[in-house]
Structure 1
């Protein structure tokens, strides 16, 4: 690879990582979308990874924190990380570090969307269940959220 494309690739990676954390495969996808050859990009991204500038562990932490702030459950966050081929241990470590109470988060998300009262009928209850499933909560979180009713 000549020096000029390498320099442009490095500048692109630096700009992307300056804005936010990116997963390894996400960087490669974005670079290939910009028209760079994958064979030229992989060594440069590997250098960033080995230097600790790019980290899938930090990406997982960022993704989990961001997802919790948006009201997403653990299933959705795991799926988001799997989309970029993030190692499961990084996701698990991020869950442990954030110490989220998934049950309470499910309650907060449900109450924000549907109010604090009980579901009016089975159709309303099904709607709430589907919504919480879409948000990525497991069935035990959903059942807990539906059981917490404030009048």
Structure 2
């Protein structure tokens, strides 16, 4: 009976990993954590992750690229994308390469403008009021856009950004 338990644990772990990967891309660290949460042991997880990488089902570079593009389309700036990639357990080198490729400065300016235009549709009150400009500045900062970039985009609209 003991001979049959090890292969079934590996099979169960592999099936769980494939089911998770079938839903969406995952980073290696993220998939490892999810398998650990489901009670699989470290050695079994390591074997399954190695198989998934070898077969091309699991690739941190591919995950980082797809995830960063998704975040960018959702209106996040370079700084926030970088933070979110790191939170997925990706290496600093992987994050740096991906963010550099995904978040060129010209693209970030256009992304910031797009997010600002969308936000302006929901802003109440005088659009040029200093308080409104400050709220928009904070909103764009939370979205992960750089301060200089935000000032540039707000200045294009001739909005004061205070001492920022």
**Displacement of 1:99:** 6.0
8 Å contact kept, 2:81–2:99 = no
Q: Which runs of 5+ in 1 are unaligned?
A: none
Question: Is 1:103 matched up with 2:113?
Answer: no
8 Å contact kept, 1:73–1:135 = yes
8 Å contact kept, 1:9–1:31 = yes
Equivalent residue, structure 1, for 2:7? 3
Q: Which runs of 5+ in 2 are unaligned?
A: 159-164
Deviations 1:107-147 (A, max 9, x none): 110111024x9942222111111100111111122112212
Equivalent residue, structure 2, for 1:89? 93
Equivalent residue, structure 2, for 1:77? 81
CA distance in 2, matches of 1:92, 1:79: 11
Compare CA radii of gyration and give the structure with the larger one.
2
RMSD across aligned C-alpha pairs, in angstroms?
Answer: 2.3
Equivalent residue, structure 1, for 2:65? 61
What stretches of structure 1 move > 6 A for 4+ residues in a row? none
CA distance in 1, matches of 2:103, 2:136: 25
Q: How many residues align?
A: 149
| Larger CA deviation: 53-62 vs 32-41 | 32-41
1:133-144 aligned at under 5 Å gives the runs 133-144=141-152
**Displacement of 1:41:** 1.1
Higher relative contact order (CA 8 A, sep 6+): 1
- TM-score (norm. length: structure 1): 0.86
CA distance in 1, matches of 2:44, 2:72: 36
- TM-score (norm. length: structure 2): 0.80
